[in-house]
Chains A and B, each alone.
Chain A
Protein backbone atom coordinates (compact mmCIF):
# COMPACT_ATOMS: atom_id res chain seq x y z
CA UNK A 1 0.00 0.00 0.00
CA UNK A 2 0.98 3.59 -0.53
CA UNK A 3 0.73 6.43 1.93
CA UNK A 4 -1.44 9.36 1.02
CA UNK A 5 1.62 11.55 0.51
CA UNK A 6 3.07 9.05 -1.93
CA UNK A 7 -0.14 8.89 -3.92
CA UNK A 8 -0.24 12.66 -4.25
CA UNK A 9 3.11 12.58 -6.04
CA UNK A 10 1.74 10.18 -8.66
CA UNK A 11 0.74 12.43 -11.52
CA UNK A 12 -0.41 12.11 -15.08
CA UNK A 13 3.06 11.16 -16.31
CA UNK A 14 3.28 8.20 -13.95
CA UNK A 15 -0.16 7.01 -14.93
CA UNK A 16 0.67 7.19 -18.63
CA UNK A 17 3.92 5.37 -17.90
CA UNK A 18 1.97 2.59 -16.17
CA UNK A 19 -0.55 2.39 -19.02
CA UNK A 20 2.30 1.61 -21.41
CA UNK A 21 2.05 -1.86 -19.91
CA UNK A 22 -1.60 -2.30 -20.90
CA UNK A 23 -1.43 -4.09 -24.23
CA UNK A 24 -3.88 -4.51 -27.08
CA UNK A 25 -5.02 -8.15 -26.82
CA UNK A 26 -4.89 -8.53 -30.61
CA UNK A 27 -1.41 -6.98 -31.01
CA UNK A 28 0.36 -7.77 -27.74
CA UNK A 29 3.43 -5.61 -28.43
CA UNK A 30 1.32 -2.47 -28.70
CA UNK A 31 0.04 -0.56 -25.68
CA UNK A 32 -3.05 1.61 -25.34
CA UNK A 33 -0.64 4.58 -25.16
CA UNK A 34 1.09 3.60 -28.45
CA UNK A 35 -2.34 3.34 -30.05
CA UNK A 36 -3.28 6.85 -28.98
CA UNK A 37 -6.33 5.57 -27.10
CA UNK A 38 -5.73 7.55 -23.93
CA UNK A 39 -7.40 10.94 -23.75
CA UNK A 40 -7.89 13.13 -20.70
CA UNK A 41 -6.54 11.90 -17.36
CA UNK A 42 -8.05 13.62 -14.32
CA UNK A 43 -6.58 13.07 -10.88
CA UNK A 44 -8.29 14.22 -7.72
CA UNK A 45 -7.05 13.05 -4.34
CA UNK A 46 -7.62 9.33 -4.41
CA UNK A 47 -9.59 9.21 -7.63
CA UNK A 48 -8.60 8.96 -11.26
CA UNK A 49 -10.76 9.34 -14.31
CA UNK A 50 -9.30 8.23 -17.62
CA UNK A 51 -10.88 8.83 -20.99
CA UNK A 52 -10.45 5.92 -23.37
CA UNK A 53 -10.84 6.66 -27.08
CA UNK A 54 -12.23 3.61 -28.91
CA UNK A 55 -10.60 2.56 -32.20
CA UNK A 56 -12.89 0.66 -34.61
CA UNK A 57 -16.60 1.00 -33.76
CA UNK A 58 -17.00 -2.76 -33.49
CA UNK A 59 -13.71 -3.44 -31.72
CA UNK A 60 -14.52 -6.25 -29.26
CA UNK A 61 -11.58 -5.41 -26.97
CA UNK A 62 -12.92 -2.21 -25.48
CA UNK A 63 -14.49 -3.66 -22.32
CA UNK A 64 -11.44 -5.83 -21.75
CA UNK A 65 -9.19 -2.76 -22.02
CA UNK A 66 -11.36 -0.71 -19.65
CA UNK A 67 -10.98 -3.47 -17.09
CA UNK A 68 -7.19 -3.78 -17.58
CA UNK A 69 -6.70 -0.02 -17.28
CA UNK A 70 -8.76 0.07 -14.09
CA UNK A 71 -6.67 -2.71 -12.60
CA UNK A 72 -3.40 -1.08 -13.61
CA UNK A 73 -4.24 2.31 -12.10
CA UNK A 74 -5.69 0.73 -8.96
CA UNK A 75 -2.38 -1.05 -8.48
CA UNK A 76 -0.74 2.40 -8.16
CA UNK A 77 -2.81 2.89 -5.01
CA UNK A 78 -5.80 4.86 -6.24
CA UNK A 79 -9.11 3.96 -4.68
CA UNK A 80 -11.59 5.12 -7.28
CA UNK A 81 -10.69 4.55 -10.87
CA UNK A 82 -13.11 5.32 -13.63
CA UNK A 83 -12.41 4.53 -17.27
CA UNK A 84 -14.94 6.12 -19.58
CA UNK A 85 -15.40 5.76 -23.31
CA UNK A 86 -14.67 9.11 -24.91
CA UNK A 87 -16.46 9.47 -28.23
CA UNK A 88 -15.89 13.22 -28.48
CA UNK A 89 -12.58 12.45 -30.19
CA UNK A 90 -12.70 10.48 -33.44
CA UNK A 91 -9.88 7.98 -33.31
CA UNK A 92 -7.90 7.46 -36.47
CA UNK A 93 -4.64 5.73 -37.28
CA UNK A 94 -2.73 9.04 -37.24
CA UNK A 95 -3.02 8.74 -33.46
CA UNK A 96 -0.66 5.73 -33.40
CA UNK A 97 2.73 6.95 -32.17
CA UNK A 98 5.96 6.57 -34.15
CA UNK A 99 7.24 4.07 -31.60
CA UNK A 100 3.92 2.28 -31.92
CA UNK A 101 4.43 1.97 -35.66
CA UNK A 102 7.90 0.52 -35.09
CA UNK A 103 6.38 -2.06 -32.77
CA UNK A 104 3.77 -2.94 -35.38
CA UNK A 105 6.54 -3.61 -37.89
CA UNK A 106 8.47 -5.70 -35.39
CA UNK A 107 5.29 -7.70 -34.87
CA UNK A 108 5.26 -8.30 -38.65
CA UNK A 109 2.47 -5.92 -39.61
CA UNK A 110 2.56 -3.22 -42.26
CA UNK A 111 1.75 0.24 -40.93
CA UNK A 112 -0.80 2.84 -42.04
CA UNK A 113 0.60 6.07 -43.49
CA UNK A 114 -0.37 9.45 -42.04
CA UNK A 115 -3.38 10.78 -43.90
CA UNK A 116 -4.56 13.78 -41.92
CA UNK A 117 -8.04 12.41 -41.28
CA UNK A 118 -9.21 11.51 -44.77
CA UNK A 119 -7.57 8.47 -46.33
CA UNK A 120 -7.78 7.60 -50.00
CA UNK A 121 -7.97 4.42 -52.05
CA UNK A 122 -4.23 4.79 -52.64
CA UNK A 123 -3.63 4.86 -48.91
CA UNK A 124 -5.60 1.63 -48.55
CA UNK A 125 -3.88 -0.22 -51.38
CA UNK A 126 -0.26 0.74 -50.87
CA UNK A 127 1.66 -0.61 -47.94
CA UNK A 128 5.36 -0.99 -47.34
CA UNK A 129 6.43 -4.56 -46.63
CA UNK A 130 7.21 -4.92 -42.90
CA UNK A 131 9.74 -7.68 -43.66
CA UNK A 132 12.01 -6.12 -46.31
CA UNK A 133 10.80 -2.51 -46.51
CA UNK A 134 9.91 -2.76 -50.21
CA UNK A 135 7.08 -0.69 -51.67
CA UNK A 136 6.64 -3.20 -54.50
CA UNK A 137 3.57 -4.79 -52.92
CA UNK A 138 -0.07 -5.45 -53.73
CA UNK A 139 -3.21 -5.71 -51.61
CA UNK A 140 -4.88 -9.13 -51.70
CA UNK A 141 -7.81 -8.51 -49.41
CA UNK A 142 -9.40 -5.52 -47.71
CA UNK A 143 -10.14 -7.63 -44.66
CA UNK A 144 -7.77 -9.70 -42.54
CA UNK A 145 -7.66 -11.80 -39.42
CA UNK A 146 -8.90 -8.95 -37.22
CA UNK A 147 -11.09 -5.94 -37.99
CA UNK A 148 -8.09 -3.60 -38.18
CA UNK A 149 -6.03 -5.60 -40.70
CA UNK A 150 -5.83 -6.06 -44.46
CA UNK A 151 -3.84 -8.72 -46.38
CA UNK A 152 -0.99 -7.84 -48.76
CA UNK A 153 1.79 -9.51 -50.75
CA UNK A 154 5.36 -8.36 -51.34
CA UNK A 155 6.77 -9.02 -54.83
CA UNK A 156 10.36 -8.53 -53.65
CA UNK A 157 10.62 -10.87 -50.67
CA UNK A 158 7.64 -12.94 -51.85
CA UNK A 159 5.94 -12.94 -48.50
CA UNK A 160 2.34 -12.38 -47.59
CA UNK A 161 1.84 -9.91 -44.80
CA UNK A 162 -0.94 -8.27 -42.87
CA UNK A 163 -1.20 -4.59 -42.30
CA UNK A 164 -2.83 -2.35 -39.68
CA UNK A 165 -5.09 -0.59 -42.12
CA UNK A 166 -5.60 3.17 -42.33
CA UNK A 167 -8.75 4.47 -40.67
Chain B
Protein backbone atom coordinates (compact mmCIF):
# COMPACT_ATOMS: atom_id res chain seq x y z
CA UNK B 1 0.00 0.00 0.00
CA UNK B 2 2.83 2.39 0.91
CA UNK B 3 4.48 1.41 -2.37
CA UNK B 4 1.47 2.36 -4.49
CA UNK B 5 1.06 5.62 -2.59
CA UNK B 6 4.67 6.55 -3.22
CA UNK B 7 4.22 5.85 -6.93
CA UNK B 8 1.02 7.91 -7.13
CA UNK B 9 2.54 10.85 -5.26
CA UNK B 10 5.60 11.12 -7.47
CA UNK B 11 3.52 10.87 -10.65
CA UNK B 12 0.98 13.41 -9.42
CA UNK B 13 3.67 15.84 -8.26
CA UNK B 14 5.51 15.57 -11.59
CA UNK B 15 2.30 16.35 -13.47
CA UNK B 16 1.34 19.24 -11.21
CA UNK B 17 4.71 20.95 -11.33
CA UNK B 18 5.39 20.55 -15.05
CA UNK B 19 1.79 21.62 -15.67
CA UNK B 20 2.41 24.77 -13.69
CA UNK B 21 5.62 25.41 -15.62
CA UNK B 22 3.87 24.92 -18.99
CA UNK B 23 1.20 27.39 -17.92
CA UNK B 24 3.89 30.05 -17.56
CA UNK B 25 3.95 30.18 -21.38
CA UNK B 26 0.32 31.31 -21.48
CA UNK B 27 0.37 34.71 -23.17
CA UNK B 28 4.08 34.42 -23.96
CA UNK B 29 4.22 31.63 -26.57
CA UNK B 30 6.40 32.38 -29.61
CA UNK B 31 3.39 32.00 -31.93
CA UNK B 32 -0.32 31.77 -31.13
CA UNK B 33 -0.56 28.02 -31.82
CA UNK B 34 2.29 27.36 -29.41
CA UNK B 35 0.76 29.55 -26.77
CA UNK B 36 -2.39 27.41 -27.09
CA UNK B 37 -0.44 24.15 -27.19
CA UNK B 38 1.55 24.80 -24.01
CA UNK B 39 -1.55 26.09 -22.25
CA UNK B 40 -3.56 23.01 -23.31
CA UNK B 41 -0.82 20.66 -22.17
CA UNK B 42 -0.68 22.55 -18.88
CA UNK B 43 -4.41 21.96 -18.46
CA UNK B 44 -4.01 18.26 -19.29
CA UNK B 45 -1.15 17.80 -16.85
CA UNK B 46 -2.94 19.51 -13.99
CA UNK B 47 -5.99 17.36 -14.79
CA UNK B 48 -3.80 14.25 -14.61
CA UNK B 49 -2.44 15.42 -11.26
CA UNK B 50 -5.99 15.93 -10.00
CA UNK B 51 -7.01 12.42 -11.09
CA UNK B 52 -3.99 10.90 -9.30
CA UNK B 53 -4.51 12.92 -6.11
CA UNK B 54 -8.16 11.81 -6.25
CA UNK B 55 -7.09 8.16 -6.19
CA UNK B 56 -4.87 8.93 -3.18
CA UNK B 57 -7.82 10.60 -1.48
CA UNK B 58 -10.45 7.99 -2.31
CA UNK B 59 -8.44 4.78 -2.08
CA UNK B 60 -5.84 5.60 0.55
CA UNK B 61 -7.58 8.11 2.80
CA UNK B 62 -5.16 10.94 2.01
CA UNK B 63 -6.37 14.55 2.24
CA UNK B 64 -8.51 16.03 -0.51
CA UNK B 65 -6.77 16.85 -3.82
CA UNK B 66 -6.56 20.62 -3.23
CA UNK B 67 -4.86 20.10 0.11
CA UNK B 68 -2.41 17.62 -1.40
CA UNK B 69 -1.61 19.93 -4.30
CA UNK B 70 -1.40 23.24 -2.49
CA UNK B 71 -0.81 22.76 1.22
CA UNK B 72 2.07 20.31 1.55
CA UNK B 73 5.60 21.26 2.55
CA UNK B 74 8.24 21.44 -0.15
CA UNK B 75 10.07 18.41 1.29
CA UNK B 76 6.89 16.31 0.95
CA UNK B 77 6.85 16.81 -2.81
CA UNK B 78 8.24 13.81 -4.71
CA UNK B 79 8.54 15.35 -8.16
CA UNK B 80 11.79 14.88 -10.05
CA UNK B 81 14.06 17.90 -10.26
CA UNK B 82 13.68 18.11 -14.07
CA UNK B 83 10.15 19.48 -13.81
CA UNK B 84 11.14 22.21 -11.35
CA UNK B 85 13.42 24.24 -13.59
CA UNK B 86 12.11 27.56 -14.91
CA UNK B 87 10.84 27.49 -18.51
CA UNK B 88 13.95 29.22 -19.86
CA UNK B 89 13.81 29.61 -23.61
CA UNK B 90 12.01 27.46 -26.16
CA UNK B 91 14.99 25.17 -26.73
CA UNK B 92 14.87 24.08 -23.08
CA UNK B 93 11.07 23.96 -22.84
CA UNK B 94 10.77 21.70 -25.91
CA UNK B 95 13.70 19.51 -24.90
CA UNK B 96 12.32 19.03 -21.39
CA UNK B 97 8.86 18.31 -22.81
CA UNK B 98 10.33 15.78 -25.24
CA UNK B 99 12.36 13.94 -22.58
CA UNK B 100 9.61 14.05 -19.95
CA UNK B 101 6.64 13.10 -22.12
CA UNK B 102 8.41 10.17 -23.76
CA UNK B 103 8.96 8.76 -20.28
CA UNK B 104 5.42 9.66 -19.32
CA UNK B 105 3.69 7.94 -22.25
CA UNK B 106 5.69 4.73 -21.67
CA UNK B 107 4.96 4.86 -17.93
CA UNK B 108 1.22 5.03 -18.61
CA UNK B 109 1.45 2.35 -21.28
CA UNK B 110 3.01 0.04 -18.66
CA UNK B 111 0.52 1.12 -16.00
CA UNK B 112 -2.41 0.22 -18.24
CA UNK B 113 -1.51 -3.38 -17.27
CA UNK B 114 -1.18 -2.60 -13.55
CA UNK B 115 -2.69 -4.97 -11.01
CA UNK B 116 -3.96 -1.88 -9.18
CA UNK B 117 -7.21 -1.48 -11.06
CA UNK B 118 -8.01 2.24 -10.43
CA UNK B 119 -4.59 3.21 -11.77
CA UNK B 120 -4.82 0.83 -14.74
CA UNK B 121 -8.12 2.40 -15.77
CA UNK B 122 -6.82 5.94 -15.46
CA UNK B 123 -3.63 5.00 -17.32
CA UNK B 124 -5.58 3.85 -20.39
CA UNK B 125 -7.29 7.19 -20.59
CA UNK B 126 -4.24 9.36 -19.96
CA UNK B 127 -2.19 7.36 -22.45
CA UNK B 128 -4.43 8.53 -25.30
CA UNK B 129 -4.16 12.16 -24.25
CA UNK B 130 -0.38 11.95 -24.01
CA UNK B 131 -0.12 10.99 -27.67
CA UNK B 132 -0.81 14.64 -28.46
CA UNK B 133 1.91 15.82 -26.08
CA UNK B 134 4.49 13.47 -27.54
CA UNK B 135 3.59 14.41 -31.11
CA UNK B 136 3.96 18.07 -30.22
CA UNK B 137 7.45 17.51 -28.82
CA UNK B 138 8.50 15.25 -31.71
CA UNK B 139 7.45 17.69 -34.38
CA UNK B 140 9.42 20.56 -32.82
CA UNK B 141 12.44 18.39 -32.18
CA UNK B 142 12.45 17.41 -35.84
CA UNK B 143 11.78 20.91 -37.12
CA UNK B 144 14.46 22.58 -35.00
CA UNK B 145 16.93 19.72 -35.42
CA UNK B 146 16.67 20.05 -39.21
CA UNK B 147 16.31 23.84 -39.14
CA UNK B 148 19.18 26.29 -39.35
CA UNK B 149 22.71 25.84 -38.01
CA UNK B 150 21.70 27.95 -35.04
CA UNK B 151 18.53 26.00 -34.24
CA UNK B 152 20.41 22.72 -34.55
CA UNK B 153 23.23 23.90 -32.29
CA UNK B 154 20.83 25.24 -29.69
CA UNK B 155 18.79 22.02 -29.58
CA UNK B 156 21.92 19.89 -29.23
CA UNK B 157 23.16 22.14 -26.43
CA UNK B 158 19.76 21.90 -24.71
CA UNK B 159 19.82 18.10 -24.96
CA UNK B 160 23.37 17.99 -23.58
CA UNK B 161 22.38 19.94 -20.48
CA UNK B 162 18.84 18.56 -20.00
CA UNK B 163 19.44 14.85 -20.52
CA UNK B 164 21.36 14.38 -17.23
CA UNK B 165 18.52 16.12 -15.37
CA UNK B 166 15.98 13.88 -17.11
CA UNK B 167 17.69 10.81 -15.68
CA UNK B 168 16.26 11.93 -12.33
CA UNK B 169 12.82 10.85 -13.61
CA UNK B 170 13.94 7.26 -13.05
CA UNK B 171 15.39 7.69 -9.57
CA UNK B 172 14.23 4.62 -7.68
CA UNK B 173 12.16 4.83 -4.53
CA UNK B 174 12.34 2.47 -1.54
CA UNK B 175 9.49 0.24 -2.78
CA UNK B 176 10.72 -0.66 -6.25
CA UNK B 177 10.86 -4.44 -5.61
CA UNK B 178 7.43 -4.49 -4.07
CA UNK B 179 5.88 -2.65 -7.02
CA UNK B 180 7.44 -5.09 -9.46
CA UNK B 181 6.60 -8.17 -7.41
CA UNK B 182 2.97 -7.19 -7.01
CA UNK B 183 2.75 -6.28 -10.70
CA UNK B 184 1.70 -2.74 -9.88
CA UNK B 185 4.48 -1.19 -11.97
CA UNK B 186 7.36 -2.97 -13.74
CA UNK B 187 9.96 -0.58 -12.33
CA UNK B 188 12.00 2.49 -13.21
CA UNK B 189 14.89 0.50 -14.71
CA UNK B 190 12.67 -1.11 -17.29
CA UNK B 191 11.01 2.21 -18.05
CA UNK B 192 14.35 3.95 -18.51
CA UNK B 193 15.56 1.26 -20.89
CA UNK B 194 12.46 1.58 -23.08
CA UNK B 195 12.75 5.36 -22.97
CA UNK B 196 16.40 5.41 -24.04
CA UNK B 197 15.57 3.24 -27.03
CA UNK B 198 12.73 5.49 -28.16
CA UNK B 199 14.42 8.84 -27.73
CA UNK B 200 17.65 7.61 -29.30
CA UNK B 201 15.82 6.69 -32.45
CA UNK B 202 13.79 9.90 -32.61
CA UNK B 203 16.78 12.14 -31.91
CA UNK B 204 18.70 10.35 -34.63
CA UNK B 205 15.97 11.21 -37.12
CA UNK B 206 16.25 14.85 -36.04
CA UNK B 207 20.06 14.74 -36.56
CA UNK B 208 20.58 15.10 -32.83
CA UNK B 209 22.12 12.75 -30.29
CA UNK B 210 22.31 12.02 -26.58
CA UNK B 211 25.42 13.16 -24.72
CA UNK B 212 27.55 10.85 -22.62
CA UNK B 213 26.92 11.55 -18.97
CA UNK B 214 29.89 11.39 -16.65
CA UNK B 215 28.25 12.58 -13.47
CA UNK B 216 25.48 10.11 -12.71
CA UNK B 217 24.22 12.05 -9.68
CA UNK B 218 22.97 15.05 -11.63
CA UNK B 219 19.22 15.48 -11.41
CA UNK B 220 18.74 13.02 -8.53
CA UNK B 221 17.09 13.74 -5.19
CA UNK B 222 13.58 14.82 -6.09
CA UNK B 223 12.00 11.45 -5.36
CA UNK B 224 13.33 11.69 -1.80
CA UNK B 225 12.17 15.25 -1.26
CA UNK B 226 15.47 16.99 -2.10
CA UNK B 227 14.73 19.74 -4.57
CA UNK B 228 16.45 22.46 -6.54
CA UNK B 229 16.25 26.08 -5.42
CA UNK B 230 13.53 26.56 -8.05
CA UNK B 231 10.74 24.56 -6.40
CA UNK B 232 10.18 26.68 -3.29
CA UNK B 233 9.50 29.93 -5.21
CA UNK B 234 7.21 28.02 -7.58
CA UNK B 235 5.17 26.60 -4.68
CA UNK B 236 5.13 30.03 -3.08
CA UNK B 237 3.59 31.55 -6.20
CA UNK B 238 1.26 28.62 -6.94
CA UNK B 239 -0.26 28.65 -3.46
CA UNK B 240 -0.56 32.42 -3.00
CA UNK B 241 -4.31 32.51 -3.48
CA UNK B 242 -5.20 29.43 -1.42
CA UNK B 243 -3.08 30.64 1.49
CA UNK B 244 -4.89 33.97 1.58
CA UNK B 245 -8.01 32.28 2.85
CA UNK B 246 -7.83 28.51 3.15
CA UNK B 247 -11.08 26.65 2.59
CA UNK B 248 -12.88 29.46 0.82
CA UNK B 249 -15.57 28.38 -1.67
CA UNK B 250 -15.27 29.70 -5.23
Contacts and interface: CB of A to CB of B under 8 A. Distances in A.
Interface stretch (B37-45, B65-73, B83-91, B99-107): B37-45
A143 B41 contact: yes
Interface in B19-68: 33, 36-37, 39-41, 43-48, 50-51
28 contacts: A56-B44, A56-B47, A57-B126, A57-B129, A58-B44, A58-B47, A58-B48, A60-B43, A87-B118, A87-B121, A90-B121, A91-B125, A119-B131, A124-B132, A140-B33, A141-B33, A141-B36, A141-B37, A142-B132, A142-B136, A143-B37, A144-B40, A147-B40, A147-B43, A147-B44, A150-B132, A165-B132, A167-B129
Contacts of B50: 57-58
Which of B36, B40, B46, B124 is the most central at the interface, judged by chain A CB atoms within 10 Å of its CB? B40
Nearest to B128: A167
B149 to A, nearest CB: 27
Nearest to A145: B36
A61 to B, nearest CB: 12
Interface of B: 33, 36-37, 39-41, 43-48, 50-51, 118, 121-122, 124-126, 128-129, 131-132, 135-136
Chain A residues touching B, majority SS? loop
Counting chain A residues whose Cβ lies within 8 A of the other chain, the interface size class is: 20 to 34
A119 B130 CA distance: 12
A165 B128 CA distance: 11
A88 B121 CA distance: 7
A57 B131 contact: no
A59 interface: yes
Chain B residues touching A, majority SS? helix
Contacts of B128: 92, 119, 167
Ranked nearest first, the 7 interchain pairs of A and B with the lowest CB-CB distance are A58-B47, A143-B40, A141-B33, A143-B37, A57-B47, A142-B132, A90-B124
Nearest to A140: B33
A57 B129 CA distance: 8
Nearest to A93: B128
B37 to A, nearest CB: 4
Given A56-B44, A58-B46, A143 B136 contact: yes
Given A91-B125, A140-B33, A143-B136, A124 B131 contact: yes
Contacts of B136: 142-143
Given A56-B44, A58-B44, A151-B33, A143 B132 contact: yes
A57 B37 contact: no
A121 interface: yes
A4 B135 CA distance: 56
B214 to A, nearest CB: 36
A87 B47 CA distance: 14
A59 B40 CA distance: 11
Contacts of B40: 143-144, 147
Nearest to B126: A57
A59 B126 CA distance: 12
